[in-house]
Amino acid sequence: MADSNQFHATCLDTYPPIFYMNDTSKAIVQLVHVYNKYFDPEGGGLVKLRAAYTFDAGPNAVIFCRKEHQLHLLAFLLRYFPTPTGASATYSNKPEMLSEGAAMPVEEELLRMGDATGRVSATNSHTGSGSTKQSLVGDVKMVYCTGVGDGPRVLGADEGLVNLTDGTPKPMPAKPAPVSRDASASVAAEDESQFKPVWVTSLEKTIKDNHRDMKELIKPTGPSIPSTYQMITGVIKFSALYVAFYGGLGLFEMAFRNFVSRPGRRGGFTRTSTN
């Protein structure tokens, strides 16, 4: 939390200042400190903290807590940032947890301390000292409940994308060839290639995606759809014809420029240099 505060203080100290946090962000910060102070009035240190916030260069708060405190913390915050009516399914990725939190009782003294920050609990009739702002529905757009991962991992050189010997990018391996078992129970690979250029892989993927979309659009009774192999072959043939046609036009133009029309024997043309 101290690092997060220092980061935003640095942003405010620039010229012109950068404002990442908004009023809702500041209210969440105050409520987290109130929550910790309620359970540790003596300020026993980091060991007794129940919640901790951080901000990733923006107004969205990420709040960490232990699993056993998650529901109670959620219940406390929902008093000040209530769920919009009928929007629990879109307000959180775990609407059932929101329902549990909204139904969980919260200590009156904790709510009084929360009201003193400037927001008023949506379920309380009392107003703490300095309470000037009501709990407006919609100040928080979404509550996402999740957990931390299993920690950092050390990956071997095989997982990297760079060749450690010369610093060049590694060739991208093709997807492992699928295997099929024929009638004689022998296993054969459908594709023997192990490596493919990136542009080939990208072209195949694009054509396969378009092929799948065509199957969805055309009814079974409609015209037949060419296979992926046929489509790739058609693209290659078309590209070859395209190059041959325009290449031939280019050669014809070059030849024409090097020949001029001049009366000759039997009405022919006589070649002359244009240089």
* Cβ–Cβ < 8 Å for 215, 226: no
Place of tokens 């008023």: 120
- Provide the phi-psi class of 267: left if phi over 0, else alpha when psi is between -120 and 50, else beta: left
Torsion angle (degrees, nearest 10) of CA 135, 136, 138, 141: -30
Task: Kindly state the DSSP code that residue 198 receives in the 8-state scheme.
Answer: H
Q: What is the pLDDT of residue 42?
A: 77
CA angle 45, 46, 52 (to 5 degrees): 130
Q: What is the pLDDT of residue 79?
A: 92
pLDDT tens column, 162-204:
888 888 888 876 555 555 555 554 444 445 445 566 666 766 7
* Cβ–Cβ < 8 Å for 38, 109: yes
Confidence of residue 244 (pLDDT cuts 50, 70, 90): confident
Q: How many angstroms separate the Cα of 216 from the Cα of each of 11, 160, 209, 220, 234?
A: 51, 38, 11, 9, 21
Domains of the chain: 2-134 (3.30.70.890), 197-267 (no CATH)
Q: Of 29-33, 63-67, 129-133, where does mean pLDDT reach its minimum?
A: 129-133
Which amino acid is it at 128? G
* Cβ–Cβ < 8 Å for 18, 11: yes
Rounded Cα gap, residues 134 and 120, in angstroms: 5
Helix (H/G/I), strand (E/B), else coil: 102: helix
Q: What is the pLDDT of residue 265?
A: 46
Q: Would you mind telling me the total number of residues written for the chain in this entry?
A: 275
Give the number of other CB atoms < 10 A from CB of residue 70. Answer: 17
Rounded Cα gap, residues 204 and 62, in angstroms: 41
Task: Kindly state the DSSP code that residue 223 receives in the 8-state scheme.
Answer: -
> Hey, what are 151's tokens?
């920690």
Rounded Cα gap, residues 70 and 50, in angstroms: 9
Helix (H/G/I), strand (E/B), else coil: 76: helix
**Average pLDDT of every residue of the chain:** 76
Phi, psi of 155 (to 5 degrees): -100, 145
Choose among 102, 131, 136: nearest CA to 118: 131
Decide if pLDDT at 155 tops 70: yes
Confidence of residue 219 (pLDDT cuts 50, 70, 90): low
**Helix orientation angle between 95-103 and 67-80, rounded to the nearest 10 degrees:** 70
